[in-house]
Structures are given as structure tokens and as C-alpha cells.
A and B are shown apart, each in its own frame.
Chain A
């Protein structure tokens, strides 16, 4: 990030941190009906190798990937209607700083709440609060799950219905909308559209136990012209329909999630499992990922340990092109064209990144005072030597095994 940007970011960070330090009320009321609140985090990270980079971190201390400031303005029109906007300014200038939330909330009755506008997609337990580091114990929630290619926001409508009975507080949430943005697949960022996406979330809380199960679906169209070009060439042969389908840049992506969390005065434990399953898996991988985490709390200190794992897999292209080529006379006028296509398919297969990764994270959170926390954590990253394992800029002899150190300050105001 340019020095000027960094200065501006740090000035804002200091300003809001001072605000938090004064221990002012949670939301500074401008008037009774308008409240302003916010959150911030400054996180430094260091990767213990010079042979690769991991999620923006390298062997130099870097503040950019995760440091940010968010501001939320909430205006209550009456008992039934309010408007909320939330914007985030990121230190990392490759990520857009923009309004992540802009929505109206309508509450026609006590049990029902409807939001309309731009919302964060509530995929996993922490997806919609991922920028508010103060809300969770880690600096980085497991990257295998929380940095998976997906659509972070959507424009649409979300309805939540809640019901309390016999100690169980249960809610059902349904949303539908659309998303336009860019997606990073195989270390390349491309535009994509999600014409329709939607999901259903059921969650229940009993005492200090929380369960969440959800299912999400998106109809994705990725702007990858070389796949379209290749599909066009294949379809001219009129004899490889499976290959044409496998080169489709349109795919329905299904996401299934299960999560559980238990909190007590002195300890907590949580687990979450996610399966991301595209119906075309030649270029977009299927991801199976989970984590187990637990921690012990004494006074203002939380010590925690997490194991996380992901498993990515792709489908190979149908072998109809390769086998046709093997049986074809090289003097056949179609041979050259088909050989070119086969080369293209092989190129795509070899350019796919295989990001399976196992990790252990040991961390500490110190709640200095209400609304202000300091955190530190070490993550041991263990990938397979034959895979990219979520690293990039990889040296040939890098064994995909290293440690990521992070320290951070988190606050809300």
C-alpha cells in the first residue's frame, strides 16, 4: 500500500482506538434515533520462510492483509423500520474498501425481521462478522474455510423468524439475492456473476450451547474467456458433448455447513464443518473443510488451540478427446485442431491449484478492558509438497511446511 494510504489508515486507527479507550458507551448517540458504532483491527504477520507467501504474508512483517477500520451508522425511523450502513476501510489496497452492508430492517412483529439491501452472505458461523476481529478469539479464523472462494455479499432480501420455547431459542433464516464481483481461483482473479443465490439457516441456542446448520446455493457465471474459446472449438467437432459441458463457466455451487459451539465461564469449544460442491468441478474445486477449537479462559486471558483441515478435489476432463486423438491418423485434417484442444485441456488441469492444507493454531487473547483486546497466535501450516497448499510465489524446494506468526490489536467503539 502506498505510504500515504498507510499514514491515513494509521491516523484513523489511532483516532478510533482512542475513542475505544475512553470507554464511551457502545454506540455514541448523535441523537436518539441515530447511532454510530465501529470496529478496528491492526494486525501484523510474519511468515517463517522466504520460499513462499501465504495469504499476503511473507518473511517481512506485514500489516496490510488484515488491518481495517469499520464504521456503522444505524438510523431508527420507528419501532418497525430502521436503516443501517456499514463501510470498511482496508489497509490492503488490492481489496476494495466499500460499503459491505447497506440495508433497511423491517420488523412487522416481534418474531420476524426482514432485511432488504446489500448484506453479507451468512455462509458460516463467522462469515458475516469476519471483519470484526473483536467478536472472535482468533486473529485469523481457519483460512481453509473462511477464505474459500465464495460470494461475500449479496443484494437481496433476508428474513429471520425466531421462536423461544422450553429454553430453546430457535431461528430460521432464509435469503435470496444476487452478487457481482471478482473471484480468485487458481491464483487468478476474474469477474463473475451470481444471478441467483440463496440459502436457509436453522440455528438453535439452549443455555450456552449453540447449533447451526445451513444450506446455500449460487448460480455462478465466471468470466473466463479461454474456457469459452476452448469450449467453442470443441463444440465445432460436434462429437465431444461431455468435454463441452466440463468446460462450462457456469456452475451451480452448493454449500452445506454444520456448526456447534459451547461456552462456559472458564472454557469454550467449537467445531464447524463445510462442504462446497460445484456441479462442474473441472476448474472449480470441491472443498471439504472443518476445524475443531477450544480454549480456556482465566480472568482476562483466553488461551486457545485449533486444528483445521481442508481437502480439495477436481474432476478430470472426460477422456473422449484424448482417446479420439489416440485413434486418429496424424494426417487427418482434424488432427492438428484436436491436438491443440487436448493440449489446452492438459494446461487447464495442470494450472489448477490444489489447496488442501492442515494447520494447528495456538493463540492467546488478552481483554485489556471492555471493547479492547490484544491477541497473538502461531499457526503451523502443513501442506503436501505436490500441492500449492494455499501458498503462492512458491520456490521449487519449499516443503509446504512453515509457521505464521501474528499479533494484533482489536477494538470496538
Chain B
């Protein structure tokens, strides 16, 4: 009986540790929303479409990408989860496009609120924000990560 109890407690402890770990990791890795002005008339975008828009691909001529400042947590998460490259590699890539006249880097907004406001006020603009960000009626989520 004692042995059973000890095992039972061990299992409970392990299970609760695992669930706490899951909770913590989910929390530290909040999801991202890609938002667009409703006038852009896109219901949803794929990850590779988002990537092309933010990396100066052909689609970036149709949509204007809005970024957050280098070093911000949301931007770092966007770099890793959506683009799949480090900040410095992305900067190097953009210098290549900028100085060959192929494209210009996304416009930077100082804060998430500024980004949302800009998207709300400009057609065909796209930005990334943390999930559950308060959005005005004319801004829609087009991709969730």
C-alpha cells in the first residue's frame, strides 16, 4: 500500500510538472496574428505568402508590410516563426534588395498600437501583432500562428 501511494504521488507530481511546463512554454511562446485592412479583401494568407510580403517578394508590390522595431519581442518571434531567419540575416537580405533597387524594407512602426492604427487607416497594409490584440472593425486576422 505504501509502495502504491509513493508511486501514485510520484506520478501525480510528474504529471503536474509536465502540465506546468506545457503551460509555461505556451505562455512564453504566445501566438502571432497577421492582420490586414479589411479593404485588402483577403480572407486568409498562407505562411509562405506572408513571408513573401515581408521579404520583398512579388506579393510585396500588392501589399505594404508594416514591421515593428528591430529587437522587439514580437518582431523576433515573427522572424523565427514566420520568416525562419535571424534578424541580422534578414537585415543583410534587405540590404541586397535595397541597394539593387529591387525592393525597400517594410515600414517600421514604434508600437503594436501604431501598427494596428496604420493598418486600419491604409488599404492593402499588413502587419504582425500578438494574438488577442484589440482590433478595430476594419482590421481582420488573415493568418494565425
- Interface: B11 (CB within 8 A): no
CA distance A74 to B48 in the complex (A): 29
Name the contact of B59 in the complex, choosing from A74, A122, A164, A264 (C-beta under 8 A).
Answer: A164
CA distance A120 to B104 in the complex (A): 18
CA distance A132 to B91 in the complex (A): 12
CA distance A35 to B58 in the complex (A): 22
Digitize B93-110: 1 where CB-to-A-CB distance is under 8 Å, 0 elsewhere. Answer: 111101111101100100
- Interface: A327 (CB within 8 A): no
The answer to whether B58 and A164 touch across the interface, beta carbons within 8 angstroms, is yes
- Interface: A208 (CB within 8 A): yes
- Interface: A171 (CB within 8 A): yes
- Cβ–Cβ < 8 Å partners of B132 in chain A: none
Digitize A258-281: 1 where CB-to-B-CB distance is under 8 Å, 0 elsewhere. Answer: 000001110010000000000000
- Please name the residue on chain B nearest to A128 by beta carbon: B100
The answer to whether B58 and A162 touch across the interface, beta carbons within 8 angstroms, is yes
- Please name the residue on chain A nearest to B101 by beta carbon: A84
Give the size range of B's interface with the partner: 20 to 34
CA distance A333 to B44 in the complex (A): 87
The answer to whether A169 and B52 touch across the interface, beta carbons within 8 angstroms, is yes
Which residues in chain A, 1-46, are within 8 Å of chain B measured between CB atoms?
A: 23, 25-27, 35, 37, 39
- Interface: A70 (CB within 8 A): yes
The interface-forming segment of A58-66, A102-110, A381-389 is A102-110
- Interface: B62 (CB within 8 A): yes
Which residues in chain B, 44-88, are within 8 Å of chain A measured between CB atoms?
A: 46, 48-49, 51-52, 57-59, 61-62, 70-71, 80, 84-88
Name the contact of B57 in the complex, choosing from A84, A101, A164 (C-beta under 8 A).
Answer: A164
Digitize A154-177: 1 where CB-to-B-CB distance is under 8 Å, 0 elsewhere. Answer: 000000101110010111000000
The answer to whether B86 and A120 touch across the interface, beta carbons within 8 angstroms, is no
The answer to whether A263 and B59 touch across the interface, beta carbons within 8 angstroms, is no
- Cβ–Cβ < 8 Å partners of A287 in chain B: none
- Cβ–Cβ < 8 Å partners of B104 in chain A: 27, 35, 74
- Interface: B41 (CB within 8 A): no
Q: How far is the CB of B102 from chain A (nearest CB, A)?
A: 8
The answer to whether A169 and B88 touch across the interface, beta carbons within 8 angstroms, is no
- Interface: B14 (CB within 8 A): no
The answer to whether B58 and A135 touch across the interface, beta carbons within 8 angstroms, is no
Q: Chain A CB within 10 Å — which of B70, B84, B92, B108 has the most?
A: B92
- Please name the residue on chain B nearest to A165 by beta carbon: B58
- Interface: B145 (CB within 8 A): no
- Interface: B89 (CB within 8 A): yes
The answer to whether B49 and A164 touch across the interface, beta carbons within 8 angstroms, is yes
Which residues in chain A, 100-151, are within 8 Å of chain B measured between CB atoms?
A: 101, 103, 105, 107, 110-111, 113, 115, 120, 122, 128-129, 131-132, 134-137
The answer to whether B95 and A134 touch across the interface, beta carbons within 8 angstroms, is yes
- Cβ–Cβ < 8 Å partners of A70 in chain B: 99
The answer to whether B99 and A265 touch across the interface, beta carbons within 8 angstroms, is no
The answer to whether B57 and A115 touch across the interface, beta carbons within 8 angstroms, is no
The answer to whether A169 and B84 touch across the interface, beta carbons within 8 angstroms, is no
The answer to whether B91 and A371 touch across the interface, beta carbons within 8 angstroms, is yes
Known: A169-B58, A264-B85, A371-B91. 19 other contacts (CB 8 A): A26-B105, A84-B101, A86-B99, A107-B61, A110-B61, A113-B61, A122-B100, A128-B100, A131-B99, A132-B95, A134-B91, A162-B61, A163-B58, A164-B49, A164-B52, A164-B59, A263-B89, A265-B86, A297-B89
- Identify 10 residue pairs between A and B in the complex whose beta-carbon atoms are under 8 Å apart, listed by A's number: A23-B70, A72-B99, A74-B101, A105-B101, A110-B58, A164-B52, A268-B89, A370-B91, A371-B91, A373-B88
Residues of A within 8 A of B (CB): 23, 25-27, 35, 37, 39, 70, 72, 74, 84, 86, 101, 103, 105, 107, 110-111, 113, 115, 120, 122, 128-129, 131-132, 134-137, 160, 162-164, 167, 169-171, 205-208, 263-265, 268, 297, 300, 367, 370-371, 373, 412
